[in-house]
Amino acid sequence: MQTKVIIRENSWRLEKFQTKTILGTEDGHQVIWKCPMTETALPFINTIADREKASQEYLKNHFDVLCGDLQDGCLKYDYLPYQSLLQIIEMQFQQDCPLMADKTIKSYVDKIKALQSIYTVPREFFKIIGLDDAYNNTKLLCLYRGLLDLTPRNILVNGEQWIVIDSEWSFDFPIPVAFVLFRAILEMALMLQSGIRRATTPSNPACCLFARGLNDYYIPTAWKTHLDGSQISLSEMFRWETGFRCYVIGSNLGTVGRIKRHQKIRSDFSRSELAYGVGFGEKLAYVLKAAPGADKAVRFFERRLRRLFE
């Protein structure tokens, strides 16, 4: 007997990239299916299968890669009952071990930097994000194979084994190493904000680096060292992130965020800021939800701010 439950649908993407993820059981074992939501997305599923094999070859000796079996237009995977690297970092915050979280992130960064890289002008990357006329003569340190989603959320950990579970956005052209690390830290800032704030102390200060809508997002100052020294500014990498999301979603793109112009350092947070996770902005955003046109106004304001600070 087979049972299947849809656990995720990417209906917000362009039709050609829309997939759904299904958790099922077959012969008493749990499996994961990744299927196209429309016929238009069927070629994308085939592309993912090819990308997984290419990623497996590229990442060997550093990461393992979970590859699916292509069956009836869907990819079938074994269900792996392991925590993601992101969940491990979150747990380290919950256990009041921010230094252990820093160590875990350092191990992740070292693994990324150990991958085969090349100094080149990443023209194909600039083309897909709509900046193909930019940086014509600027060579950047790039991963030889561009794995945009090689972030802690997409890595399962089984002892010493790190398993990459998502190769949707694994490209056969170089992508800047700094941008891969930027996306990882941005993702952790958004998803672990409550834990980051609770772990902030005078000996473990936090830096207000990102903003989205009305909310500010902090990262431990130790994380910022992984972003320092790049040839490209953080504001420019936010521009790249916007371009990539437009590639996936289309013109109907909501707010992405911006780099804070004044990167304030904090050694603690008030009780109310901890309770709401992202502070006053979240509370105000909740109040404004019912106000006609408020969401559009916030997005417009953020776009103006991002242009001003670039």
**DSSP codes of every residue in 227-253:** TTT-SS-HHHHHHHHHHHHHHHH-S--
Q: How far apart are CA 132 and CA 248, in angstroms?
A: 17
Contact assessment for residue 151 and residue 164, using Cβ atoms and an 8 Å cutoff = no
Q: In 79-153, which residue ranges form alpha helices assigned H by DSSP?
A: 85-94, 98-114, 123-128
What is the value of pTM for the model shown?
Answer: 0.86
Q: In 136-220, which residue ranges form alpha helices assigned H by DSSP?
A: 177-191, 193-198
- Nearest 5°: the CA angle 94, 100, 102 is 105
Contact assessment for residue 204 and residue 220, using Cβ atoms and an 8 Å cutoff = yes
Label the pairing between strands 64-65 and 161-164.
parallel
Picking from 183, 305, 168, 307, the residue whose alpha carbon sits closest to that of residue 248 is 168
Q: What is the maximum alpha-carbon separation in the chain?
A: 59
User: Residue 198 is encoded by which pair of tokens?
Assistant: 């609770």
What is the helix (H) or strand (E) element at residue 29, kind and residue range? Answer: strand 29-36
Contact assessment for residue 118 and residue 142, using Cβ atoms and an 8 Å cutoff = yes
Q: Please list, in sequence order, all residues whose beta carbon lies within 8 angstroms of the beta carbon of residue 22, skipping any fewer than 6 positions away.
A: 4, 5, 6, 7, 32, 33, 34, 35
Q: How far apart are CA 174 and CA 118, in angstroms?
A: 8
Contact assessment for residue 49 and residue 31, using Cβ atoms and an 8 Å cutoff = no
- Res 32: pLDDT: 95
Q: Within its chain, how far is the Cα of 156 from the centroid?
A: 15
Picking from 310, 199, 221, the residue whose alpha carbon sits closest to that of residue 265 is 221
pLDDT tens, N- to C-terminus, the chain (310 residues): 467 899 999 999 999 999 999 999 988 889 999 999 999 999 999 999 999 999 999 999 999 999 999 999 999 999 999 999 999 999 999 998 999 999 999 999 999 999 999 999 999 999 999 887 666 678 999 999 999 999 999 999 999 999 999 999 999 999 999 999 999 999 999 999 999 999 999 999 999 999 988 889 999 999 999 998 888 899 999 999 999 999 999 987 777 788 998 889 999 999 888 865 554 444 444 333 444 444 444 444 444 444 433 3
